[in-house]
């Protein structure tokens, strides 16, 4: 039995900084990883997909600049092998950085292998038992594969990134942000893309008007969007994969050689041996945590995607900040301090913080809204990128910002103007009365806040 002060399971975005902080504060720390260092973000999420998004953007600009007076003669070729190689180099750099961190940090031991709980205090890895006073679970999540697709040669966000040739046709099941990002990037690479979404709209967590504009953006990109597509199944045929579905127009079938499943994610908590502990999970397998990310066993914490409190790199890193503050900082952070924020990196991007119109109405909050279509924003017109709109929601009584949804050029950066004001607890009038630089998209936020209407 090897004894440590702390054991961390998983090297996703919360694990390495927590290991470093624990080690610097004198904790003998073991960090366990059964797969590639870095978790989803580094290997199959943010780093690789945004590298592909950047390449797809270059292809799009090369093919679509005539309206701005720029013509490119000849064929624009997409070299997916080179795009993949660049992606692999970026990932390799991250792996090397993490490896160096673990090797150089005193008090950190990296253990390669699968961790399984024996009891509340004991973990087995490679046949060896480890114990610690503090244990941190940071095992992330993986793509959900419904049973109707298990027998076909499907793709996930991981295997899509290993393709070396651009698919002639690509069918994507799922209209969330992962499916939409892949749909647009591969459409720009040259694939004929079809999205099948069971629900009545894409991005079901967004307001209907926002979802409608997102659909317009994708259809403008040449993507076929089929909503209300229920009973989706797939079988292997001689010609490839046959995808069948029911929609408003009746039963349909699509033939394709490439099928991407983007129907949500499931936590990597199965096979972890949690049944041998007192750690409680919900019916979906996410680990239940309190405001400080402690599980039902006080000396075990759950961070990152596996706790169901956020599915993003930035929320995982904030989980580290919350736990770290409880141990080593004067100011104690907690989960309830956090404003939900995220982006979908389609082009133009969607960015969101706090509540949207639907949630505000459901809660019965008296609120006001300011909004402006991107076609009225001078910088967007000058860039030739006028699809989208901006919406900001204000509490009518406190004058604080309840949330914002930005869809348009630069939205993923512009949203932080609002996020910072929300964390400051400031009145919306602070932004309204601020002077922003011209010509930018951000300068229209003060202008739109001068024209509030009741929600």
Residue 148's pLDDT is what? 86
Does the pLDDT of residue 88 top 70, yes or no?
A: yes
Name the pTM for this structure.
Answer: 0.95
Instruction: Assess if residue 343 is contained within a domain.
Output: no
Same domain, 19 and 132: yes
CATH code of the domain in which 428 resides:
3.30.390.30
Same domain, 225 and 152: yes
Residue 7, beta-bridge partner list: 30, 135
Same domain, 134 and 7: yes
Instruction: Assess if residue 272 is contained within a domain.
Output: yes
Same domain, 86 and 15: yes
Same domain, 288 and 370: no
Does the pLDDT of residue 62 top 80, yes or no?
A: yes
Q: What share of the chain has pLDDT > 70, as a percent?
A: 99
Residue 105's pLDDT is what? 92
Q: Among 233, 263, 293, where does a domain finish?
A: 263
Least confident of 48-62, 226-240, 372-386, 391-405: 226-240
d(C-alpha 428, C-alpha 400), whole Å: 6
Determine the average pLDDT of the residues in 269-287: 97
Same domain, 16 and 138: yes
Length, in residues, of the chain: 455
Same domain, 199 and 282: no
- pLDDT, averaged across the chain: 96
Total tally of structural domains belonging to the chain: 3
Does the pLDDT of residue 431 top 90, yes or no?
A: yes
**Catalytic residue check, 438:** yes
* Angle in degrees, 0-180, between the axes of helices 313-328 and 15-24, rounded to the nearest 10: 20
Does the pLDDT of residue 74 top 90, yes or no?
A: no
Residue 239's pLDDT is what? 82
Catalytic pick among 95, 258, 299, 438: 438
Q: What is the DSSP string of 270-323?
A: TTS-GGGSS--B-TTSPBP--TT-B-SSTTEEE-GGGGSS--SHHHHHHHHHHH
Range of the domain at 387: 348-454
DSSP 118: S
H or E stretch at 389: strand 389-395
Residue 293's pLDDT is what? 98
Instruction: Assess if residue 301 is contained within a domain.
Output: yes
Widest distance between CA atoms in the chain: 70
Determine the average pLDDT of the residues in 177-185: 97
Instruction: Assess if residue 441 is contained within a domain.
Output: yes
Same domain, 134 and 6: yes
Determine the average pLDDT of the residues in 302-310: 97
Does the pLDDT of residue 268 top 90, yes or no?
A: yes
* Angle in degrees, 0-180, between the axes of helices 80-104 and 46-63, rounded to the nearest 10: 150
Q: What share of the chain has pLDDT > 90, as a percent?
A: 94
Instruction: Assess if residue 16 is contained within a domain.
Output: yes
Q: For 378-421, what is each residue's pLDDT tens digit?
A: 999 999 999 999 999 999 999 999 999 999 999 999 999 999 99
Tell me the C-alpha to C-alpha distance, in Å, between residue 138 and each of 59, 163, 403.
Answer: 37, 29, 29
Same domain, 134 and 271: yes
Instruction: Assess if residue 168 is contained within a domain.
Output: yes
Q: Among 337, 369, 384, where does a domain finish?
A: 337
Residue 94's pLDDT is what? 97
Instruction: Assess if residue 114 is contained within a domain.
Output: yes
Residue 248's pLDDT is what? 64
Q: For 437-453, what is each residue's pLDDT tens digit?
A: 999 999 999 999 999 99
Q: Among 281, 305, 337, where does a domain finish?
A: 337
Confidence of residue 297 (pLDDT cuts 50, 70, 90): very high
Residue 295 contacts by C-beta under 8 Å, 6 or more apart in sequence? 137, 279, 280, 287, 288, 289, 301, 302
Q: For 104-142, what is each residue's pLDDT tens digit?
A: 999 999 999 999 999 999 999 999 999 999 999 999 999
Does the pLDDT of residue 218 top 90, yes or no?
A: yes
**Sign of torsion over alpha carbons 166, 178, 320, 117:** negative
Same domain, 27 and 102: yes
Same domain, 99 and 177: no
Instruction: Assess if residue 423 is contained within a domain.
Output: yes
What's the Rg (C-alpha) of the chain?
24
Determine the average pLDDT of the residues in 307-326: 96
CATH code of the domain in which 282 resides:
3.50.50.60
Confidence of residue 269 (pLDDT cuts 50, 70, 90): very high
Short-list 333, 331, 329, 351, CA closest to 342 = 351
Confidence of residue 247 (pLDDT cuts 50, 70, 90): low
Tokens for 100, please give them: 């160096």
Q: For 329-373, what is each residue's pLDDT tens digit?
A: 999 999 999 999 999 999 999 999 999 999 999 999 999 999 999
Same domain, 224 and 296: no
């Amino acid at each position: 039995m090897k004894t440590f002060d702390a054991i961390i399971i998983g090297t996703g975005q919360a694990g390495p900084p927590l290991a470093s902080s624990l080690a610097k504060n004198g904790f003998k720390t073991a960090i366990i990883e059964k797969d590639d260092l870095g978790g989803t973000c580094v290997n199959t999420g943010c780093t690789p997909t945004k590298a592909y998004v950047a390449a797809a953007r270059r292809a799009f600009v090369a093919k679509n600049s005539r309206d701005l007076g720029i013509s490119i003669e000849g064929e624009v070729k997409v070299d997916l092998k080179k795009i993949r190689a660049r992606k692999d180099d970026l990932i390799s750099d991250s792996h090397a950085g993490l490896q160096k961190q673990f090797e150089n940090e005193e008090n950190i031991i990296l253990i390669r292998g699968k961790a399984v709980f024996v009891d509340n205090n004991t973990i087995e890895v490679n046949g060896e038992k480890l114990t610690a006073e503090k244990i941190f679970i940071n095992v992330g999540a993986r793509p959900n594969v419904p049973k109707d697709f298990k027998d076909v040669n499907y793709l996930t966000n991981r295997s899509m990134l290993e393709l070396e040739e651009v698919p002639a046709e690509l069918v994507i099941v799922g209209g969330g942000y992962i499916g939409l990002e892949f749909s647009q990037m591969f459409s720009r690479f040259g694939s004929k893309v079809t999205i099948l979404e069971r629900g009545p709209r894409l991005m079901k967590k967004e307001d209907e008007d926002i979802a409608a504009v997102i659909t317009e953006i994708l259809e403008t990109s040449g993507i076929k969007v089929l909503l209300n597509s229920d009973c989706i199944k797939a079988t292997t045929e001689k010609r490839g994969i046959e995808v069948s579905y029911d929609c408003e127009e009746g039963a349909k079938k699509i033939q394709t050689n490439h099928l991407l499943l983007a129907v949500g994610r499931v936590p990597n908590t199965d096979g972890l041996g949690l049944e041998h502990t007192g750690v409680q999970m919900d019916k979906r397998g996410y680990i239940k945590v309190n405001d400080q990310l402690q599980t039902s066993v006080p000396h075990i914490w759950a961070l990152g995607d596996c706790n169901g409190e956020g599915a993003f790199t930035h929320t995982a890193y904030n989980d580290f900040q919350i736990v770290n503050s409880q141990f080593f900082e004067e100011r104690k952070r907690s989960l309830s301090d956090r404003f939900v924020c995220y982006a979908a990196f389609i082009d133009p991007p969607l960015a969101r913080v706090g509540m949207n119109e639907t949630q505000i109405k459901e809660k019965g909050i008296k609120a006001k809204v300011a909004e402006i279509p991107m076609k009225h924003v001078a910088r967007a017109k000058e860039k030739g990128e006028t699809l989208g709109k901006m919406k900001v929601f204000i509490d009518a009584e406190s004058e604080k910002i309840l949330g914002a949804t930005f869809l348009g050029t630069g939205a993923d950066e512009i949203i932080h103007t609002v996020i910072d004001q929300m964390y400051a607890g400031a009145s919306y009038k602070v932004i309204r009365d601020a002077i922003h630089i011209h010509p930018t998209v951000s300068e229209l936020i003060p202008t739109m806040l001068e024209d509030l209407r009741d929600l």
